[in-house]
Every structure is written in C-alpha cells, then in structure tokens.
Amino acid sequence: MASRKSPFFNTATTLGKIVAFFGVSALCGVLAAGMLVPAASVAGSTAAIGMDFFDALPAELKQEPLSQPSKVVAKDGTTLATFYAENRTPVELDEISKDMQNAIVSIEDERFYEHNGVDLRGIARAAAHNFTSSSQQGASTLTQQYVNNVLINAKFLSGADKSDITYSGTKDLADKLREAKLAISVEKEFTKKEILQGYLNLVLFSGTNYGVEAAAERYFSVHAKDLNIQQSAMLAGMVQRPNTFDPIKNPDLTLKRRNTVLGAMLKTDSITKKEYDKAVKTKLGLKPKDVKSGCVAAKSANYFCDYVSHEIMKDPAFGKTKKERETLLYRGGLTIKTTLDPRLQKEAEKETTKTIPADDSSNMGSAIVTVEPGTGNILAMAQNKKYGSDPDDSSYTTYNLTAGRSMGGTNGFQGGSTMKPYTAIAWLEDGRHMWDKVNAQRRLYDANFHWKASCMPKGYVTVDGGYEPKNFDAGFRKPMTADYGLYWSINTATVNEASQLDLCKIADVTERVGLLNAATGKPITGANPSFVIGADPITPLAQATAFATFANKGEYCKNRALTSVTDAAGNSYKVPGESCEQVIDEQVIANLNGTLKRIAGTRVANGTIDKPIAGKTGTNNTASSTWFVGYSTGMATAAWTGRFDGNAQIKGVEINGKRYSNPDSSTLAAPLWLEYTKDVIDYYPAKGFGSKDSKPGKSPDHSDSPDNGPAGDAGDDNNDDD
C-alpha cells in the first residue's frame, strides 16, 4: 500500500515544526483527557514533551514473530504434547468469520475503517464523556491496541520480566504518544485487513488463550471461520477485560457483555434487527475444550515428553541461555519431531501398569524403554506411575525411572547381573573362549589379593577386608565353563573371570557402549571388583542402548530422541544425527550372543517367541532392582521393576496382590519384557545374530548349558561392598 503523508506530523520545515509543537501539545491534552492518562502524570510531563521528544519517538513498529505454541510430534506425525505461554494458532483473515470481524470492530473501534490510526473524533467523544460522567471511556483504536499488543509480544520474546512490560491502565503520556505515532506509521505501512488480521491473532481472550482461533476452539470447539453471530459477540466482548468476562468463571457477566456487543453490531448495521433479536435470546452455548500446556497434559508418553523437553533446555543450539531456550520452547512455535513409535509406546504403557499398578500398595515402579539398534532412536519410554506431583498420592511422580538425573530421572539402579556380559566381552577380547573353564568354586579373595587394574595408580587394587561374592544357590559353587556361568548367572564365575583379567579393561567395555555410573554421571571405574556383578547404579535407558550394541554386531549408537526441529518461520535447528561406531569385534559379539540368546529364548520366552532374541537377567541383593534386558536385531528393551524411593527389601511385600518369598528377575521384570516383546517384535526386523565359535572337536550346535530351568538368576546377588 502506498505511504500516505500526514501534514500534521510533517516537521521538515520550520513552520511545520512550530505547528507540530503546538499540535503535539494539544494532542497531549486530548490524549490525557480522552485516553485515561492520570492527571498527575500530565502536569509533570506535558511541559517536558516538545518537538525533540516527539521526533525521538520511534516511527516504525518493529514486529517480532507471534508467540506460538510448540508441539512434540511422534514418529508417525501425531502430536504428543503442546508447550505454550500463549495458546495461539495464527490464521489468515479469510479464516475468521465475517461476524467475528464485524463484532470486534463494532465494540472496539466502530470508525476503524475511517481513521488513520488515531481517532481524534473518538478521543474528543471520550474526553467529553470522562469530564461529565463518573464512568470512564477509553479511545484507543484497534490499530493502537494492535501496536500495544505487538510491543508486549516483543517484550515477552526478548525475555523481559512482566514487571518491565507496560499494559493498558499503567501507561503514562509518553507511552500514549509513542503508541499514537506508531499507530499512524502502521496505518501507512499496512492495509486495514492486515491490521485487523494481526490484531485478531495477537489479542488476549482469557488466561493463556491468545488469538481468535485458539479462543474459538477453547470455548466453542469450532474454528474461527465457523463462529456465528452470538459466539463472535461473546469473544469480541471478552477482550476488554479477559479475566472479568470469562464465560466459565463469570457466565452472567459475560452474557451481559455479549449482548452489549450485539447492540453495538446492530448500531453499526453489522447485523439486522431480526438477527439481533434472535441472537440476544440465545444462551452462551459453550462447548469448552481444555488445552493444557506441557507434558502433564500429554495423553501418552508423558515421560518421553519430559525427556524431550530436557533435550531442548540443555542444548545451546536452541539458545545461549536457559531463559532463551525456555522462551523458544514456549513461544517459538517449534515443531519437534521425535523418534517415538506410538505402537510400541501404547504396549509399553499397558504392560508396565498391568505388572504393577500406579497406585499399588507396594509403591514400586515398573518401566520399559526401547532403543533401535543401528540408529540409537528411542522408540518407547514408559513407566507405571502417573506423570505429575501430588504429595498425597503415591501413584504420581515426575521422576523418569528410565533416565538419569540430568534428564529428569533418578540416580539409577543397581544393574545386578545385567552387568555380567561386559566381563564376558573382556574375557573374549583377551583371547579366551566361552568354553574355557573358570573356578566358580572360589569365593574368598583376601585383602592381599591384587586385582589387576592398569588405569589405577598402582596398576592394581585391593579390597579392604577381602572380597567374598555370594551365589543365590550354593549348589553352583563348582568349576564350570564361562558359557555355563553366564547362562546361569553365577556370581563366583564372573568374579573369577574378572580376577584373571584387567578390571580397567572390563570398565573400558562399559564406557565403549555408553554406560555410566548414573549417580556420578561419570564412567564406571575398575576401583572395586564389585562393579562386574552390578554394584554400580545405571539407568534402564543406558542399559538398553548398550545392549542394542549386542544386537547390532558390536556397533554402538548414541541415544537420540529428536529427528528435526523447526520454528514457526520455517527455520531449522541443529539436532544430533545418528552417531554410530564399531566398538566391539563382530565375532566377539556373536560368541556372547551364543549364550544370551539361549537365556532369552529358552529360559525367559520358553519358545513363545519364534524370532531370534537374546538378553540377560539381573537382580540386586535385596531384589529392590530387578531387570531383564532383551533384544532382537530390530529393538533392544530394558524392563525394570523395583524401588525408586529407597533400597528396601521387597521379600514378602505384597505386589499387585501377590507376595513373593524369593523375588528375583523372573518374578516381574522378565515377564514384563516378555509380554511387551511378544506384542511388538514384528514391527521391526528380527534377524539372526551370527554364528558363535565352536570348541574344537565339538559340533557348532554344542551347548554346555541346560536347555531348561527357571528364568531367574541362580547366582544373582551383587554383594555390594560399597
């Protein structure tokens, strides 16, 4: 639209400046009288406001992007959650009903299409009213209101504190002058339709609902283009005092205000007398739809949503400071595409709550997290507890039981025998074999025993008082093959292997597959041999990711939850891509899988899954942490049950209506993994794990392990000496 010059503000000549000075002075008085500027502020500021001041006022409105909600999207495109400080969905003017356009103009600025941004006639009318009446009228045009909303939006986007933002009712004369000058500038730059569209997308209707589209959906469950006369009148009436004219909190006041708007629409010939008579007799007709912000409002995958929000909040790619990242998340209109597979998530949520209900008297947790081998993508993340905080209801927690503390989780849980495969890998990497014999009969390693640890200052470590691991079943204290010891999860077998190896090389295996001590956030060390049978705390997510390396022929892939992030303007933000590295020899993994696939296929699944699977059980001393981490070539899943409010014994505790005299991984964790995996394994390809080495003189199908037995761990007892 061509710029229009306003002679009133043309200060190019001396005469123009003189006229402008007196014009500004006059305008100050009119603004003070007609725009509800306190008289005291006028007395103190009018004398100081001259041409220099007015010239210094900005003549161009800097428009920032509209504050828009961000959404977290699953792998299939479904929305998991919405984050917003302002619930807003911007729409074009032709997507807003004509009734709504007419309603807002009729009640807020009936001369909108006639003035040039500042309505002097309206100001004079308001001034006359305010001088002669006990009630007060304002005279800000829609354009001025639009300017004010743009300025507020810009302040919010800059991270300004609410106390630094000037709202209606708190403005002084300088604020009003700036608003007036900017309104005139806006009218030169934009068409009336553009201004009206901008206003209807910016304005607050109630609470956190901004813009007419969000308001229409909030109160009537319709789109803005479908608003009828009475609905439009109600919404238009709300913008004057959104908290007062809230139809849910104050329906009678809102109805009265709506009818006032209908009267204004009749006066401006926006509706006929017949339409007015019909509309004014109708009820409000609300069909409210509550749209909540954040992960607490998500219908599914709340804890994954929380994990994603932590990813955004800690990554400098989304802002230099935490405040900038928070502003972007809640106001930047981000579309955050993620790796989550809703098919797996649905089953994971079903099975975790089925195993241990959220409100179970035991107050125990159950959790499932699935990672895709070859990508590191998190496919599912679920637990039995409800997301939220209620001090009087133990079924709620905000702790993500699958993740570490820095990602909204815990300090982890003792891994028990799920840690034993790492010693087996170090054993194989040392040139040994799964058929080699180990002395599982030995229990005591006295205080003088030197555990080789090349990364420690002395090159070895000792254990004060000695180290005496125990087995769950005393009958397994005997010489056996490494394969047999791992299959039956014999503590004394794994510890004897470790006594012949370098503890630092075993710890190095855990570091290569991304496993950390969850309490410290640092790599597991070889400072104490108890780590080989699970004394260190780890997270289910880290263990699922590590075991995905076993499923992927020794190639480790870092976790990832985000696949892309774009903002409302279409700008893309850098997110971690797939990051994989071969960290263990493929044949070493094939030899390990030769044992682990029998644990999963024979001891846990017992033939109920006809696809190649592998995995490992795990239980700590008190059974307050029990695991099964199992995998196919298409997915690796850690299933965990236990305490997250302490390390108390669960023996004899009633869990989901049953009491267990000797609980272990077979009690809850392994069945949880099995029931879930049976439902989802076909979604991702499950291929063979490769062929293990054969002992010379034996057929490739030899097995030193029995083909049946309980799913639990014959030796699961980590004997934590820490």
Q: Where are the domains of the chain?
A: 1-56+87-292, 68-86+294-722
CA distances from 577 to 70, 377, 406, 516 (A): 21, 10, 21, 21
Amino acid 118: pLDDT: 85
* Least trusted range by pLDDT, from 8-12, 392-396, 481-485, 541-545: 8-12
Rounded distance between C-alpha atoms, residue 223 and residue 435, angstroms:
70
Q: What is the mean pLDDT of residues 281-305?
A: 91
Amino acid 117: pLDDT: 86
Average pLDDT for the chain: 86
Checking if the pLDDT of 462 tops 60, the result is yes
Checking if the pLDDT of 700 tops 70, the result is no
Q: What is the mean pLDDT of residues 563-572?
A: 94
Checking if the pLDDT of 39 tops 50, the result is no
Checking if the pLDDT of 259 tops 90, the result is yes
Amino acid 59: pLDDT: 53
What digits encode the pLDDT tens for the residues 613-640? 999 999 998 899 999 999 999 999 999 9
- Proportion of the chain above pLDDT 70, given as a percent: 82
Confidence of residue 644 (pLDDT cuts 50, 70, 90): confident
Q: What's CA 612's distance to the chain center, in Å?
A: 34
Amino acid 707: pLDDT: 41
Rounded distance between C-alpha atoms, residue 418 and residue 85, angstroms:
43
Checking if the pLDDT of 298 tops 80, the result is yes
Q: What is the mean pLDDT of residues 262-281?
A: 97
Q: Which amino acid is located at 201 in the chain? A: N
Q: What is the mean pLDDT of residues 20-41?
A: 43
Amino acid 186: pLDDT: 87
Query: What's the CATH fold of domain 68-86+294-722?
Result: Beta-lactamase (3.40.710)
Angle formed at CA 393 by CA 388 and CA 398, multiple of 5 degrees: 25
Collapsing DSSP to helix, strand or coil, 408 comes out as coil
Amino acid 128: pLDDT: 53
What digits encode the pLDDT tens for the residues 122-166? 666 655 545 555 544 456 899 998 888 888 877 776 666 554 444
Amino acid 282: pLDDT: 97
Are domains 1-56+87-292 and 68-86+294-722 of this chain identical in fold? no
Checking if the pLDDT of 481 tops 80, the result is yes
Confidence of residue 714 (pLDDT cuts 50, 70, 90): low
Confidence of residue 67 (pLDDT cuts 50, 70, 90): confident
Q: Which amino acid is located at 457 in the chain? A: P
Residue 680 neighbours by CB distance under 10 Å: 23
Rounded distance between C-alpha atoms, residue 51 and residue 57, angstroms:
10
Q: Are strands 658-659 and 654-655 parallel, antiparallel or unpaired?
A: antiparallel
Residue 184 neighbours by CB distance under 10 Å: 22
* List of long-range contacts for 691-699, beta carbons under 8 Å, 24+ apart: 691/590, 692/434, 692/590, 692/591, 692/593, 692/594, 693/433, 693/434, 693/587, 693/590, 693/591, 695/433, 695/435, 698/435
Q: Which CATH number fits domain 1-56+87-292: 3.90.1300.10, 3.10.20.30, 3.20.20.70, 1.10.3810.10?
A: 1.10.3810.10
pTM of the model: 0.79
Amino acid 42: pLDDT: 41
Checking if the pLDDT of 16 tops 50, the result is no
